[in-house]
Amino acid sequence: MRYSHLEYSIEPLGDFWQVSFCHASHGTFRRRAEALRSAFADAERVTRLGQEVTVRIQRPRHAAGLPARILIPRVRRPRVRPAAS
């Protein structure tokens, strides 16, 4: 059951990157890739719970003219091998 659309935001904060969820900070990271990894892992977990989630990634300050990237996590389905006969 989906209750609402949830959004994680990754944005520059001085020399660091901050992950926000529901307008509250959920961690600060030295590298953008670390912030993305953290936000996306949690977004996948929330997606498996049935929520609709996006991850909005702001560009670095030196690339301010570029639009933010929007990612939508997909639930990974385990691979099932056919039973041996």
Q: State which amino acid sits at residue 58.
A: Q
Of 51, 59, 56, 49, which Cα lies nearest the Cα of 71?
A: 56
pLDDT of 10 reads: 92
pTM of the model: 0.71
**pLDDT at 38 (0 to 100):** 93
Q: Which of 42, 6, 46, 45 is nearest to 27 (CA)?
A: 42
pLDDT along the chain (85 residues), means of 10: 76 92 89 91 86 85 72 62 66
Q: What is the pLDDT of residue 81?
A: 65
The predicted structure's pLDDT at residue 77: 56
Note the pLDDT of residue 82. Answer: 66
